Structure 1
Amino acid sequence: MPTSPLRSVADHQRRIADLLGSLAPTPVPLTEARGLVLAEPVTAPESLPSFDNSAMDGYAVRAEDIADASPDSPVRLPVAADIPAGSPGGDLAPGTAHRIMTGAPLPRGADAVVEVELTDGGTDVVAITGAREAGSFIRSAGVDVAAGTTVLDAGAVIGPAQIGLLAALGVREVVVRPRPRVLVCSTGSELTEDPEPDAGQIRDSNSFMLAAAVEDAGAVAIRRLWAADDVPTFLGILDAELDAGVDLILTSGGVSAGAYEVVKDALGPRGVEFTKVAMQPGMPQGSGTYGDAAVVCLPGNPVSSLVSFEVFVRPALRASYGHPRPHRRVVRAALTEAVTSPAGKRQLRRGRLDPAAGTVEPWGPPGSGFLGWLAGADCLIDLPADVTSLDAGATVDVWDLTD
């Protein structure tokens, strides 16, 4: 029987991206917006600052009243009022000063602030030993943000600085693309969470690893413990979580050609496509929909599973909530040693990047059974499908996993 041609990595990337698409915008409280992406621009409802205020601790004055002040001939003014931050500014009469704190409103009639270091700090009468021009040490209303201007564009990622700005402007809700909710489900009767596995069992690592990868991508992970190799049990888990609302079902294991492939047995008859991708590691893949959720089925080997996540799922998740940088940063680096790659397959090989030297060191064997080596890597070396060998010093694309 003829075998089906392998799907290219690029074609499978497009399929996964299309399955997830873009999530519909929704309003969220500012306290829940960190890391999300604005779906609509934000316009300043008021100016920032909203009133003229002092940029220094000192004295609010009329500049003309202290025009002749000098260290040898200080100008003495009566201190008519104290203006702490948070109090009304009041009115400044000619020939007087108001002691003022940083951030306090400038009194009407004042046009300069003299820093306390240029005075004797008097509370009844202050001696001022230097002149200041009008406007000195005053933060004018709107000098930072003018009311009605766009302060954040659609597509902006909301971080601490953006949250601070929105809070200062009184914005308490923003319209964003929400974090995708991802059900992470490891499968296999051989899996256990028991620290002391029985004979023939192995500890589940994939659900922990993939849930962490989902969260690192900015999505919400709902981690389920392993599902036994039983189709009704597996579908029951999926149905229960779909009722709670998920955007993506992410499984690992059960996608190969052997017996007891529960994911394939359960979802294949329900429209999920299982195929082979021209990639090492991570050739067997599945994708489709189940209910209202997208489905991505990754191989069960932990290295294949995480590399497949990096190649197919992470960029699609980030694109679904509008992140401006869905892909890992790619740099060019020179190999420190020769490598080989299987003909016709795009190899994503573990590596360690030395940015200062501009080199990348292949890290560990290329096989998919070396999780310890993967944990020590900080990048993936991307070897094209038409490459079977490269000498030391050859320049390659490198995916920076630390970015």
Structure 2
Amino acid sequence: MDGTDATDAANASNRRSSGFKTRTQVAEARRQLLEDISPHERIDDLSLGRVDSRVLAESITATRAVPNYERAAMDGWAVQARDTFGAGDRSPKVLQVADDTAESVPDTPVGPGEAVRVHTGSALPDGADAVVMIEQVTQVGTEIEVFDAVTKHENVASVGEDVSKAQSLYDPGHQLRPSDLGLLKSVGHDRVSVYERPTVGVIPTGEELVQSDPGPGEVIETNGLTVSHLANRWGGITTYRNVVTDNPAALRAAIQRDLTKDVVVTTGGSSVGTRDLVPEIVDTLGSVSVHGVALKPGHPVALGVVEGTPVIMLPGYPVAAIVNAVQFLRPILKYMGHLPCESPPTTSAQLSQKIPSEPGVRTFARVQLEATVTDTDTDTDADIDNATSTIATPTRTSGSGVLSSVALADGWVIVPESREGLSAGETVSVEQWEWST
């Protein structure tokens, strides 16, 4: 054993003897980690076809107006509005057809007492200042009868009605949506500057882990796979590494290799057992600010920073790894990549049974949702008299190693630190965390 390994062993022994006598609150743990890091400032210049869901790194203004010409807002006839004044059902105004070719961009100008056929979106002919809807016109040979008067600019989209030239559209930090891409193209932008997606190295640890065909004492590696895809969904670009055994030198090398990433995530080896070496190794390379968080399942999470790179050390139990990934990896990725960190959607439901919890600990209880229909009127079977409610049934209130309890759940109920459990029949918010981005 060299000097470094001896130091790691001594630190591990100290932590194992002390255990988790104190556990940091979730909000405080997150605050401490965010305090020690900064968002990256790397930028990509990309075409519009590649920036959906990306975050703008520049202000965007319109380089041209939309529309950039006066256009018909309805199918009908372009006219001079004053020629229609007084038109009605019993006394139509008669105008001469100057052009009836129905072209999308008619070239024929409109003079006094004349009309030109136009379609929605076509340019308004010179001389015209309004459009009569086709439903209000009857054509008789080379003349039309107008049965409804129009005012100046009626049924006409003026220049810049949608967007004016040089109008400010978006600020840096805006996450682009498909509708934004259409608007950007319409105002003359083919490329924009966006922040690069943050990079993540995911390192599964544990000598018992295998990728397939487990033998006695072996376990299929799932945490790294799950966390890698969650990180991608949350805006990261993930490198999913091979399993690293519980060897100090191997673990140290794996962590140092991924310090080129924006975030390093390890799974397993984060507690205080004899093979839980990761926090001690991170502490020798940098610093561990949090080891043990007041949440359940998954309190043996550790958070640290090495050379400016956040290192999130997730527990080895699958549910504990997922809970902590949502609580810590997701906000870190959003922060590092300038991404908005919106709360996941929730569904209001009624608990079918009690959920126990420990005071001072934030508890995540996995639940399934079921819609029930109650007949509120005994005199009729009409659907209008039926009420729908949603019932939340816990799939598991304990057991952080039971992956199916999350995979088969619709979400989880968060019991706050201030509560000692939730009662059956209580209305709760079910956080559908896996639907969020």
Query: Residue 80 of structure 1: CA displacement?
Result: 3.3
**Aligned equivalents of 2:287, 2:106: Cα separation in 1:** 67
From 348, 353, 368, the equivalent of 1:352 is 368
- Contact 2:355/2:397 (8 A) holds in 1: no
Q: Please give the root-mean-square deviation of Cα atoms over the aligned residues, in Å.
A: 3.2
- From 296, 306, 311, the counterpart of 1:280: 296
1:301 equivalenced with 2:333 (yes/no)? no
Q: Determine the C-alpha separation between the residues in 2 that align with 1:90 and 1:227.
A: 77
What TM-score does the superposition give when structure 1 sets the normalisation length? Answer: 0.85
Deviation, structure 1 residue 112: 1.4
Q: Give the equivalent residue in structure 2 for 1:335.
A: 351
Equivalent runs, 1:157-168 vs 2, <5 Å: 157-168=175-186
| Structure 1 gaps, min length 5 | none
Corresponding residue SS for 2:333: helix
The partner residue of 1:208 within 225, 228, 232 is 225
What is the CA deviation profile of residues 113-152 of structure 1, one whole-angstrom value per residue up to 9, with x for unaligned ones?
2333444578x83524424412222111111222233223
- Distance change (3 Å), C-alpha of 1:5 and 1:236: closer
CA positional deviation for 1:27: 5.2
Q: Deviations over 1:285-341 (max 9, x none)?
A: 222223452211101111000011112221232233344443335677653322222
Matched with 1:79 is 98
Residue 247 of structure 1 pairs with residue 266 of structure 2: no
1:12 CA displacement:
1.0
Q: Name the residue aligned to 1:22.
A: 39
| One-letter amino acid matched to 2:286 | G
AA at the equivalent of 2:27: A
When the two structures are aligned, how many residues end up with a matched partner?
398
- Which residue of structure 2 aligns with residue 369 of structure 1? 401
1:6-45 correspondence runs (5 A): 6-24=23-41, 26=43, 28-29=45-46, 30-45=48-63
Q: 1:19 to 1:251 in 2, by over 3 A?
A: farther
Q: 1:329 to 1:69 in 2, by over 3 A?
A: closer
Matches of 2:189 and 2:333, distance apart in 1? 27
Distance 1:59 1:330, change over 3 A: closer
Q: 1:48-96: CA deviations, max 9, x gaps?
A: 21111111233322223344666675625233375744x5756333343
Amino acid at match of 1:352: Q
Q: What SS is found at the alignment partner of 1:340?
A: coil
* Kept in 1: contact 2:262–2:336 (CA 8 A): no
- CA drift of 1:205 comes to 1.3
Cα distance 1:27–1:106, how it changes in 2: closer, same or farther (>3 A)? farther
CA contact (8 A) 1:38 1:156 kept: yes
- Give the stretch that moved more between structures: 49-58 or 350-359: 350-359
> Following the alignment from structure 1 to structure 2, what is the Cα–Cα distance between the partners of residues 226 and 184?
10
TM-score, normalised by the number of residues in structure 2: 0.79
1:42-61 to 2 correspondences below 5 Å: 42-61=60-79
Give the secondary structure class of the aligned counterpart of 1:382: strand
Query: Of the candidates 168, 172, 179, which is equivalent to residue 190 of structure 2?
Result: 172
- Write the deviation string for residues 222-244 of structure 1: whole angstroms up to 9, x where unpaired: 2223233344444544455545x
Change (3 A) 1:247 1:89: farther
Identical-pair percentage: 28
| Distance in structure 2 (CA, Å) of the matches to 1:27 and 1:49 | 30
Query: Equivalent residue for 1:268?
Result: 283
- Whole-Å separation in 1 of the counterparts to 2:93 and 2:348: 65
Moved more, 307-316 or 341-350: 341-350
Matched residue, 2:110: 92
Shift in CA distance, 359/198, structure 1 to aligned 2, threshold 3 Å? closer
The correspondence for 1:64, drawn from 70, 82, 93, is 82
Aligned residue identity for 1:50: N
